[in-house]
Amino acid sequence: MKLVVIGLGYIGLPTAIMFANHNQDVLGIDVNEKVIKELNTGKIHIEEPGLQAELDRAVQNGTFKAGLVVEPADTFIVSVPTPNKNDALKSCDLSYVLSAVTNILPILQKGNTIIIESTIAPRSTEDHILPLIESTGLIVGKDVFLVHCPERVLPGQIIHELIYNNRIIGGVTPACTEAGKKIYSAFVQGELIEATASTAEMSKLMENTYRDVNIALANELVHISAELNINALDVIGMANKHPRVNLHQPGPGVGGHCLAVDPYFIAAAAPEQSRLIQDARHINASMPDFIVANTVALMKQQRGKKIAVFGLTYKGDIDDIRESPALEIYDKLKKAGTFNVVAYDPHVQADFVEPSMEKATVDADMVLILTDHTEFRSVTGFDLANMRQMIVLDTKNIIEEKITIDSYYNLGNIASIYDTEQMAIEAS
């Protein structure tokens, strides 16, 4: 079987390579010429454990190549971005998906299957993509097959989860579902769950919305506990000892191209019926401002001048900065111009990122931890010895040895910033 995978990002590229390593002839398509050149010389352009080795296998077997132009194939998989529109409820922008499908139409043949892996708003497959395909005169479910198969993988574990996670196969018709199951059975060992396209769309969105809402509850607890001078992390730890309670962990916000984006697609599709989802989005989207405000308060209290920001990605041990609250916080602090702000992230290569922890912390007054990279777990006061003041605000509660740090704050004891500030005022 020949497959064309359109969009070689964090999901499209691993998907293409997995098919290639399971005896399928795969052509990967992307608009970025640099990405195509790198892949055709055997180099991946994203950070994902095990993916380089998988590409090496595919290249050696001759089952994968990358290009800029779509070619005839048996199956077309669309895995392109679906950003938010700039409207009131940040609805789903389908333009990249529709453009990809439009590029397939001139070479579409009877018996072909089109699979949409991109995360899309409810009813997008049936209301927007289906009419576009049938404008060719081909009938979906009879001449060609249309399926929505959302990805369900965790960055850092994509290779494993592509194989072993259950997979939703959302066909426009039963025949479409069967076609999708046949394709993914090439390598998926998890259950192939039959669904309609619309049900598959909503299931994917609700999986991420569930997590967003529960993180919002934890973040709201931080706000409440700070107001009442209660340690929110202690509350979560105790509450989670109840056998039927599992509060999520709070943080500086929610990022990535799932949790920070998908709930809006539901809210835009049914605004009057999605109040809780919208409130949760508001809470999580407000966390960067909350962190900035507390950072500024602590720096002013200590008459600090330099902040070393640790972590720019939206989650630990990856290089993905899409929708990252950490990057948003860094940008807000930088643009304010009040302090010297230096970024350090061992997973991000950029001109503005200091590659050395030692240099990033020279004469710093605060380390602001925004990402839970493994490298930050073992940070001690000895690693921060060249700071002017050894103050740490750890929004991910990741540092394991806190005792060697002079002043340590997290989202549990963040209210003590203001206690200290008030005591300083009274003492003066």
Show which residues are catalytic.
Answer: 204, 258
Q: Do strands 145-148 and 167-171 pair parallel, antiparallel, or not at all (unpaired)?
A: antiparallel
CA angle 192, 269, 116 (to 5 degrees): 35
Q: What contacts 403, CB < 8 A, 6 or more positions away? A: none
The span from the CA of 352 to the CA of 344, in Å, is 9
In contact, 12 and 26? CB cutoff 8 Å: no
Residue type present at position 63 = T
DSSP string for residues in 164-224: HS-EEEEESSHHHHHHHHHHHTTT--S-EEEEEHHHHHHHHHHHHHHHHHHHHHHHHHHHH
Q: Which residues pair with 167 in a beta bridge?
A: 192
Q: Decide if 251 contacts 395 (C-beta within 8 A).
A: yes
Secondary structure (DSSP) of 389-415: S-EEEETT---S--TTSSEEEESSSTT
Contact 139, 172 (CB under 8 A): no
What DSSP letter does each residue of 323-388 carry, written as one string? T-HHHHHHHHHHHH-SSEEEEE-TT---TTB-S-HHHHTTT-SEEEE-S--HHHHT--TTTTTT-S
Closest CA relative to residue 161, chosen from 348, 14, 22, 37: 14
Contact predicate 307/334, CB 8 Å? no
DSSP string covering 87-140: STT--B--HHHHHHHHHHGGG--TT-EEEE-S---TTHIIIIIHHHHHTTTPPB
Amino acid at 415: A
Check if the beta carbon of residue 15 is closer than 8 Å to that of residue 77. yes
CA distances in angstroms from 71 to 2, 48, 207, 230, listed in the order given:
10, 28, 34, 61
Token code pair at residue 52: 């380089």
The answer to whether the CB of 325 falls within 8 A of the CB of 385 is no
